[in-house]
Structures are given as structure tokens and as C-alpha cells.
Amino acid sequence: MATIPHHHLHQLAFIPSCPSSSSSSSPSLLSLSTKHRSFKILCCLSIKESTNDHQITPQEPSTPTKNNLRVVLAAGGTGGHIIPAVAIADELRVSNPNIEILFIGTPNSMESTSIPSAGYPFTSIPPVKLFRPLVSLENLTLPIHLIHSIIHSFKLLKEFDPHVVIGTGGYVSFPTCLAALLQRTKIVIHEQNSVPGIANYVLSYFSHLVFLSYNSTIECFPKKHNCVVTGNPVRVSLRQFVSRAVARLEFFPMAGEEAKVILVLGGSLGANAINIALLNVYSQMLLEHKDWYIIWQTGVESYNEMESLVRNHSNLVLKPFLHSMDLAYAAADLIVSRAGAMTCSEILATGKSAILIPSPDVAEGHQFKNASLMADVAGTRVITEDELDSTTLGTAIEEILDDDALRAEMSERALRAAKPDASAQIAQHILSLVESSTKRM
């Protein structure tokens, strides 16, 4: 079977551009009580480091109970799809402990290990691989693969008989939601980015609710009355307080109170351009600023090369990926990162100043649009990859770290723009949707 690629279907660009709008807002919502919960996700998404290294066997769905609420979540490909789906599932489980949840993904993929490790049943359907550009020989067999996946999804949904199907993106979301449409099962989707891709744009016509991360994204959808702005559900651990002092002990036990920490992220696979720019400036920065420290996530694919080039330094922690992201965010004064939708939401939720370097490889500039919104709402600095070099990056870092007032302002604006209760709001809407439809039956 083909494995799911690391880029994802929903990031295919919606053709019209979206006008900026700040007037749209989400309706008032009942807040759900939240409990401290802990879950772990393996691979590059680990929220808590796994204590065992054996391979996790996906949990098969049990026979559904007739009277229980049953929910299917279709998510996969990257952490940007998986993390929101797990956060939503957690909130639904808190609200209704008897709920039955089934995740659908693709085999031999990130979700095939991360979802079972989070404690949820998982099953898979054949992946639908979409190549870019859209008009290409590789896409000639796309309809066949799509029909194949829809048939598999249809059988799974018929057996599980869910009250609602939730799509959070990835190749698996589109065929699963189409199968739900054929079975007349309620569909809701969540769009993480500031501009939707083709898949979510098409699915929005059939969805009962479309959850969005940004007010301006409403203008991108044809059925605006179904749109609800909730924000992106962020990792549970990031919503739990970890003190700056405790977090820094994890990385730099000898750092003083005046220390300033830079957290460098390039996504789960890393960002070669960011790694190279930092490689050419980190040594000089640490030499000139004795109280500066760097936590550097290189990405799995780049780690060996970076490790061979980077000299050992007491003020530098080099990792292929970070398991304890809550500690990394809490320890940081400044984030240098790509502009993935989930990373942007996590920066807002943790109230961090940031420099974003959007990936030019993501379909039709999704990350650039995410970064532009971050600049508007939180004063985030944006450096395009064309502008990026060691001098540009080093100058931007110095300007922010040397200005305490600027960092405080960026932090305040980020926290004001954050929506930390996104998963609770989404869960409340889903439960209300199912309850109202059940009453009418």
C-alpha cells in the first residue's frame, strides 16, 4: 500500500483569494468544564515521551453500543491535522464519558501510531494520493483511488453507525466525509489555515458546521451561516501552566534569571533553510551574548547533518524533535519557526513573541497567509525564505531579544488573539448538533 505523503490535501489552494475581514465573530458559546488530561503522541508529535519503544498495534473498533453517542474523526498526514482531532476527541470524552469514538486514517502513517498511543481506536482506509500540479499524468488514476477509499469508508461507517463525522484534514478526510454524505450522516469540518483548500471548500457545501480558526476565513466559504470561528484546538499540555523557571531547568540547569532563550522549530520534518541560516549565525550570537540560549529542533531528516556541523556548546540544545513541547514553549522568550497553522495557534496560546519564516513549498502560500495574519494580530515578525540569510535572521533576533518592551507587547497581543477554549467550543457545538437532530427524530 502507498504511504500517505507528508503534505496534505486540504492545503491545496482555494482558487479565489479571501478578503480580509475582522467584523465576523463567533456566536456566544457555552463553555465546557475541562479536566486535566494527559495523552501522548508518538513520532515527532510526542506531547509526552513514550516510556516504551515497542510498536503500537492499532486498536480495532469495538461493536458500537446502540444507545451511546458515536463519533468518527477523520484526520491524518501531519500533526496539524492529528493534534486538533485528538483535542476535540478529548473534550467530547470529558463531556460524555460514554461516548464511542473511532478514528479513521491511512495505513503506515503518522496517525496509525499516534492515534492508538493517544488511547483511541483506529482503523484505516486506502490513501488517496493527489499530486501537484493538479493537471498531471500522476493524477489520472485519482478517481479510481478516490472511489476505492470511499467504498472502504462507507463500509466502516455502516458498521460503526456514527451520529456525526468530523473531518480535520489530510487525505483521509475527504473520502470519509463523502462516504458520510452518501449515508446521510451529519458532517462537520475544521479548517486550521487562514485560507481553505479545495477539499474543505467542497466539503463545506455538505457540512452542517464549519469550524474556523480566523474570522477572515468566513469570507472564503460559500455557506457563511454554517461557519463558526473557534480557533485551533491546541495540545492539552500547552493549556496547563508550566513555570518558566521549571521549564528552563529541563534544558539549561545553570542558566540565570537574566537568560534569554530562543526556541527554533521547523515543523516535524525540519526546515533546511532555517537550519542553514541559524548554522551560520548561532556561534557568533552565543559568543556575543553570554546569557543567550538556543533550543534547536532540527527535524528528523536534518539532525545527523546538523549534529556533524554544530559544535558542542553549553548554551545550545540540539534535538531532532522535541517530546516536551509544553516545556520548550514555557522556557522560550522568542520562537523562530515555520508558519504552520497549529504552530501559529500554539504561539498565540502561549503568548510568545515570534519570527515566522513561511514555507514556500506549501500549496499556494498557505503559510505566508498564516504568517501575515500573525503579523496583524500579534506583531509577529515575518521573514520570507527569499529574504532569509544568517544576517537577516540574526538582526531580527537581536532586535526582539534586546527590547523587553517589544517582547511584552508582542506577548500581550498574542494572548489577546488566542482562543484557548477552541476544543471545548467545538465539542459543545457538536454535542448540540447531535442532540437537536436526535430530538427531531
Establish if 364 belongs to a structural domain.
yes
What is the rounded average pLDDT of the residues 272-290? 96
Same domain, 338 and 390: yes
Residue 246 lies in a domain: yes
Regarding whether 282 and 205 lie in a shared domain, the answer is: no
264 and 194 in a single domain? The answer is no
pLDDT given at position 431: 96
**Does 274 share its domain with 359?**
yes
Does one domain contain both 191 and 225?
yes
For residues 144 and 206, membership in a common domain is answered with: yes
* 2 falls within a domain: no
Ranked by mean pLDDT, the top range of 12-26, 34-48, 131-145, 250-264 is: 250-264
Residue 99 domain flag: yes
On the question of pLDDT at 98 being above 60, the answer is yes
The answer to whether 358 and 339 have CB atoms below 8 angstroms apart is: yes
Residue 225 inside a domain? The answer is yes
177-196 pLDDT, tens digit per residue, is: 999 999 999 999 999 988 88
Residue 142 pLDDT level (bands cut at 50, 70, 90): confident
151, 227: one domain: yes
Q: Which pLDDT band, with edges at 50, 70 and 90, does 253 fall under? A: very high
Domains held by the chain: number: 2
In a domain, 391, yes or no: yes
HEC string of 84-131 equals HHHHHHHHHHHHCCCCEEEEEECCCCHHHHHHHHCCCCEEECCCCCCC
Rounded Cα gap, residues 40 and 424, in angstroms:
19
Q: Is residue 1 part of a domain?
A: no
- For residues 57 and 198, membership in a common domain is answered with yes
Instruction: State the CATH number of the domain containing residue 395.
Output: 3.40.50.2000
pLDDT given for residue 30 in this prediction: 31
Q: What is the pLDDT of residues 257-279, one digit of tens each?
A: 899 999 999 766 668 999 999 99
Domain that holds residue 326: 239-417
pLDDT score of 363: 63
For residues 27 and 108, membership in a common domain is answered with yes
User: Both 230 and 305 in a single domain?
Assistant: no
* Confidence category of residue 62, pLDDT binned at 50, 70, 90: low
Same domain, 271 and 396: yes
Look at residue 204 and tell me if it is in a domain.
yes
**pLDDT value of residue 269:** 62
Same domain, yes or no: 268 and 412: yes
Tens digit of each residue's pLDDT (9 = 90 or more) over 384-418? 999 999 999 999 999 999 999 999 999 999 999 99
Give the chain's mean pLDDT.
84
Region 418-430 average pLDDT: 94
Mean pLDDT confidence for 356-381: 89
Question: Which of 175, 105, 226 is closest to 217 using CA atoms?
Answer: 226
